[in-house]
Amino acid sequence: MTLFGYKPPFTAWVGIVIVTVNLLVAVFGPWLTPYGESQSVAGTWDPPSAALWLGADQIGRDMLTRLIYGARMTIGVAMVTTVLSFVMGITTGFVAAVLGGWVDQLLSRLVDVILSIPLLIFALIILGVFGSAIPVLVLTIAFLDSTRVFRLARALAMNLSVLEYVEAARLRGEGIWWIMRREILPNASAPLFSEFGLRFCFNFLFVAALSFLGLGIQPPFADWGGMVRDNAAAISFGMLAPIWPALAISVMTVGVNLVVDWLLSIEARPSGAQAEL
Amino acid sequence: MFRGLSTACSCRFLGVGSFGCWPYLVGAFGKVLKLIATRALLGLATLFAVSVLIFVCTQILPGDVATAVLGQSATKETLAAFRKELGLDVPAYIRFFTWLWRALHGDLGVALTNQRVIIDEIRPRFANTMFLAGYAALIAVPLAVGLGVVAAIREGRPIDRISNILTLMTISVPEFFVGYVLIAIFTVEFGLFPSLATVDADTSFLGRIYVTTLPAVTLTLLVTAHMLRMTRTSVLSVMSSQYIEMAFLKGLTRGRVVAHHALPNAAAPIITVVALNLAYLVVGVVVVEAVFTYPGIGQLMVDAVSKRDVPVIQACGLIFAAVFVGLNTLADILAILVNPRLRHRR
């Protein structure tokens, strides 16, 4: 079977299926389940049955329903964050590379300082000051993540901006936006695209980890990280309730990683992006 | 006589000139020392920049700490008095240097929510976190480096493939998933270890080890994967060089070539990646502590964030940053010491 003229290997197919199913569930969630998002239908941590395939959660809501609604929230927030992070990172990265000089120095040194301590610690500091409303959460993670995108975008644009056709555009008197949009972006899009998958994984895990710490998406919304936290006590009683949302997160990340690996192998680029923490 | 001696000593430490007794040695040693000093200074500068950033982050709050604590309904007079009490009536840069100066002297201020002295809160928790991270590192580093070398020797064989798949999986799953799976297996199924890692000042050393085994194993699984892959990669990248081919052509076994020819040259990247992962360990601890409700500094910081207790957040952030920057600096310095080629690059 081929896809866009390429023949994905088995692992890539696994990834594609996982990602597609997750996205479909996220989009069509409400039509897939008979229960409401916060409808209590059973007792606390009722075991799995024909009506509740994965059992009930800490206040008797159907676990599977929560997972389906959680897909929407968790994947949605991570997706918006990644898009925002790319918009910020690519713009600043290209500006730094094209303008050079003190703009480049200022932006690069700021990114160096931000990246010199773990992003989780920075996120905790910012969320501690501004609180954990969803817009704040999205902006914070997007801002922190855009530092990584910045580095990649700047490096790519640095290599491109010395080429003849960019030089020619400059000599024609084109503006910086035109050069960035029409000359550099199309030629940098392939590596940026596979980076998008990796950054999505990172942001997805980041949102999940923050929600798990109780500092991300707040109840009553269902989200996978928060569900792990809410059901954590069940494990002390020998029930597997927190495993399901955690498993959903893991499966999604593995799926995206498999797809990205395949994309990277098409591009035949050493996957240096994987090496960072 | 004394004069000559002191000149030799000083030039050795300053790295200037090379007119001592052993011109070459003194020169080379001085150069290394200079490189290390530069790197250490760079680390300090980074830490300073980070502390500025942390301080700025906590100051851009709409309104300020006083309004955040007292709420919207407070009168102007109460606000002014409270600002004075917190020292918020002086300019920001003065507050920054006062804060930094006191922090350097071990005075991290008082928590807003419960008025406790922050340094006393942090000290035992910091020790707990370091205990857990150290425990995990003691398992993870030998395991990862050993397996990485074995995987490189047996490239493409079953053991290499198995470790490849396992590490890919542990890299892409979240910390808490690993934690809860371990609890499900070892606590729920076999009842071997407790699911909550509660320790206090009276817990004995062996008791601590027993209780923190599951969190330590969780952390180990998380950092081992990355270290293992990097060890394997750096050994394999050395394996493709010409002198290794020469060694093979001489008829040496693969194991001997790896141990004697490849490993010494792969040591520098391995050391760097080990130190980087130790730094990551200290951060991964935040989530793992939450899984096992272990009383470490990560839990303290998370609590402070949910209560929005700014001085505690600042203090914890500063400590995490210091540990992280410190370990990174150490990694670079060790790399300079291990790899002589790095000394001549500039």
**B46 pLDDT higher than 50:** yes
pLDDT band at B9 (very low <50, low <70, confident <90, very high): very low
Interchain contact, B328 vs A243, CB within 8 Å: no
Within chain B, where are the H helices? 2-14, 23-59, 65-70, 76-86, 92-104, 118-153, 158-172, 175-182, 205-211, 213-239, 242-249, 254-256, 263-291, 297-307, 310-338
pLDDT score for B2: 37
Q: Is the dihedral of CA A57, A59, A62, A67 positive or negative?
A: negative
Q: Number of folded domains in chain A?
A: 1
Question: Is the confidence at residue B14, as pLDDT, over 50?
Answer: no
- Identify the top-confidence range among A39-53, B17-31, B289-303: B289-303
| Residue predicted with more confidence, B27 or A208 | A208
Cα B17 to Cα B13: distance, rounded to the nearest angstrom: 11
Q: What is the pLDDT of residues B120-141, one digit of tens each?
A: 888 888 888 888 988 998 999 8
Q: Evaluate whether residue A276 is within a structural domain.
A: no
Residues ≥6 apart with Cβ < 8 Å to A104: A96, A97, A154
Where is average pLDDT lowest: A117-121, A273-277, B53-57, B113-117? Answer: A273-277
Poorest-confidence range of A156-170, A261-275, B290-304? A261-275
Higher pLDDT, B42 or B3: B42
Residue B5's pLDDT is 36
By the 8 A CB rule, do A126 and A105 touch? no
Residue B148 region, left (φ>0) first, then alpha (ψ -120 to 50), else beta?
alpha
Q: pLDDT tens, B187-241?
A: 877 877 777 777 777 777 787 888 888 899 988 888 888 888 888 888 888 888 8
Give B-chain residues touching A112 at CB under 8 angstroms.
46
The mean-pLDDT minimum among A144-158, A206-220, B153-167 falls in B153-167
Judge whether residue B12 has pLDDT over 50: no
Range with top average pLDDT, A172-186, B164-178, B201-215: A172-186
Instruction: Using a CB–CB cutoff of 8 Å, tell me whether A218 touches chain B.
Output: no
Residues 6+ apart with CB under 8 A from A208: A74, A216, A223, A224, A225, A228, A249, B174
pLDDT score of B184? 84
Say whether B49 and A113 touch across the interface (CB within 8 A). yes
Residues of chain B with C-beta less than 8 angstroms from the C-beta of A113: 46, 49-50, 53
Residue A3 in any domain: the answer is no
B275 within 8 A of B330, measured Cβ to Cβ: yes
- Taking the CA of residue B295 and the nearest CA in chain A, the distance in Å comes to 14
Tell whether A119 is covered by a domain: yes
User: CA–CA separation, B180 vs B291, rounded Å?
Assistant: 8
pLDDT digits (tens, 9 = 90+) for B290-327: 888 888 898 899 988 888 888 888 889 889 888 888 88
The residue among B47, B51, B113, B172 with the most chain A CBs within 10 A of its CB, best to mutate, is B172
The mean pLDDT of A133-159, rounded to a whole number, is 90
Rounded to a whole number of angstroms, the distance between the first and last alpha carbons of chain A is 35
Residue A122: give its domain's CATH number. Answer: 1.10.3720.10
CB B299 within 8 A of CB B289: yes
Q: Measured between alpha carbons, how far is A200 from A156 in angstroms, rounded to an integer? A: 20
Task: Mean pLDDT check: name the lowest of A84-88, B60-64, B66-70.
Answer: B60-64
Q: With 80 as the cut, is the pLDDT of residue A195 above it?
A: yes
A135 in contact with chain B, both atoms CB, cutoff 8 A: no
**A277 in any annotated domain:** no
- Taking an 8 Å cut-off on Cβ atoms, the answer to whether A201 and B195 are in contact is no
For residue B210 the two structure tokens come to 């027993």
Dist CA B316 CA B306 (whole Å):
14
Contact B183 A209 (CB under 8 A): no
Residue type at A14? V
The pLDDT value given to residue A31: 80
Label residue A242 by pLDDT band (50, 70, 90).
confident
Q: What is the dihedral of CA A83, A89, A95, A98, to 10 degrees?
A: -100
Amino acid B64: pLDDT: 63
- Assess A247–B contact: CB distance below 8 Å, yes or no: yes
Residues 6+ apart with CB under 8 A from B39: B329, B332, B333, B336
Mean pLDDT of A62-82: 88
Residue B324 vs residues B186, B320, B327: alpha-carbon distances, Å? 32, 6, 5
Q: Is A171 within 8 Å of chain B by CB?
A: no
> Of B51, B52, B176, which to mutate for an interface test with A (greatest number of A Cβ within 10 Å)?
B176
Cα(B291)–Cα(A206) distance, rounded to whole angstroms?
Answer: 16
Tell me if A118 and B49 make a contact (CB, 8 A cut-off).
no
Residue A92, pLDDT > 90, answer yes
Q: What is the average per-residue pLDDT within A199-215?
A: 89
- CA distances B156 to B152, B160, B164, B226, B344, Å, are 9, 6, 10, 18, 36
Q: How far apart are the first and last CA of chain B?
A: 35
pLDDT for res A176: 86
Place of tokens 């250490």: B40
How many angstroms separate the CA of residue A94 from the nearest CA in chain B? 24
pLDDT > 80? residue B111? no
Mutate to test the interface with B, among A106, A111, A129, A274 (most CBs of B within 10 A): A129
For residue A59, being part of any structural domain is answered with yes
Distance, CA of B100 to CA of B94 (rounded, Å): 10
A162 domain residue, yes or no: yes
Q: Which of A74, A213, A224, A230 to mutate to test the interface with B (most CBs of B within 10 A)?
A: A213
Taking the C-alpha atoms of residue A223 and residue A138, their distance in angstroms, rounded to an integer, is 14
Greater confidence (B25 vs A115) lies with A115
State the residue range of the domain holding A28: 10-270
* Residue A271, pLDDT score: 40
Residue A149, domain member (yes or no): yes
Which residue did the predictor score with more confidence, A39 or B270? B270
CB A66 within 8 A of CB A78: no
Spell out which residues of chain A touch residue B317, defining contact as CB-CB under 8 Å. Answer: 117, 121-122, 124-125
Q: Which comes out higher in pLDDT, residue B99 or A103?
A: A103
Three-state SS at A62: strand
Task: State residue B15's pLDDT score.
Answer: 38
Contact A113 B328 (CB under 8 A): no
Tell me what pLDDT residue B27 has. Answer: 60
Asked if pLDDT for residue B66 goes beyond 80, the answer is: no
Phi, psi torsion values for A231, nearest 5 degrees: -95, 5
pLDDT at A86: 95
Give the mean model confidence (pLDDT) for residues B268-291.
Answer: 83
Judge: A125–B317 Cβ closer than 8 Å, yes or no.
yes
Cβ-contact A258, A110 below 8 angstroms: no
Residue B325 in 3-state DSSP?
Answer: helix
The structure's pTM equals 0.82
pLDDT, tens only, A3-27: 666 777 888 888 899 999 988 888 8
Check CB contact of A219 with chain B, cutoff 8 Å: no
Task: Confirm whether A52 is domain-assigned.
Answer: yes
Q: Is the ipTM of this complex over 0.85?
A: no
Q: Could you tell me which of A91, A232, A197, A213 has the C-alpha nearest to residue A154?
A: A91
Q: Please give the angle made by the CA atoms of B14, B19 and B20, to the nearest 5 degrees.
A: 80
- B141 within 8 A of B279, measured Cβ to Cβ: no
Q: Which residues are bridge partners to A40 per DSSP?
A: A61
Q: At B144, is the secondary structure helix, strand, or coil? A: helix
Q: State the pLDDT at residue B28.
A: 64
Question: Chain B contacts of A143, Cβ < 8 Å?
Answer: none
Residue A274: predicted pLDDT: 38
Q: Touching check for A116 and chain B: CB below 8 Å?
A: yes
Cβ contacts of B78 within 8 Å, gap of 6 or more = B70
CB atoms within 10 A of CB B331: 21
pLDDT category of residue A77 using cuts at 50, 70 and 90: very high
